[in-house]
């Protein structure tokens, strides 16, 4: 199994204020892989892997029809199911813990192309 995502890339050259942001590339990947339009993402954490860093983002949508996505061959897991499958010390379980921390104030990040138009009338 694997989470949606893949190799990230910078949306634009020379974006010095948000170097390392991968929201634009991840939006494209979730659209291609899941047919899912994700309007924003919140950074969760970086996970060190053998071949580099895996940057983990989260998104929630109360109106998301997870049954429709499941019909396309995707499965959804609860936190306890992930812990049973991988063990509580696994990096993805740690990311889920971080995402669910109530005392963390989260921002909603958007892609560079979105932020250019956020204040347009």
| Residue spans per domain, the chain | 16-115
pTM equals 0.74
* Rounded Cα–Cα distance for residues 97 and 117 (Å): 33
What confidence score (pLDDT) does residue 17 get?
52
Q: Which residues, in sequence order, are CB contacts of 25 under 8 Å at separation 6+? A: 7, 8, 9, 10, 11
- pLDDT, residue 78, reads 85
Which stretches of the chain drop beneath a pLDDT of 70?
1-4, 8-21, 68, 70-72, 113-121
How many Å apart are CA 5 and CA 47, to the nearest integer?
Answer: 14
pLDDT value of position 116: 61
Query: What pLDDT, on the 0 to 100 scale, is given for residue 100?
Result: 92
Distance CA 36, CA 69 (A): 9
Give the pLDDT score at 81.
92
Dist. CA 77–CA 83, nearest whole Å: 10
């Amino acid at each position: 199994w694997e989470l949606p995502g893949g190799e990230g890339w910078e949306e634009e050259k020379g974006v010095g204020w948000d170097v390392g942001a991968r929201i634009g590339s991840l939006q494209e990947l979730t659209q291609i892989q899941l047919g899912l339009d994700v309007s924003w993402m919140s950074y969760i954490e970086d996970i060190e892997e053998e071949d580099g860093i895996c940057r983990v983002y989260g998104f929630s949508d109360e109106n998301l029809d997870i049954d429709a996505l499941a019909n396309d061959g995707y499965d959804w897991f609860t936190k306890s199911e992930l812990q049973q499958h991988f063990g509580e010390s696994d990096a993805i379980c740690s990311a889920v813990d971080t995402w669910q921390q109530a005392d963390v104030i989260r921002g909603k990040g958007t892609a560079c192309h979105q932020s250019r138009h956020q204040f347009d009338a």
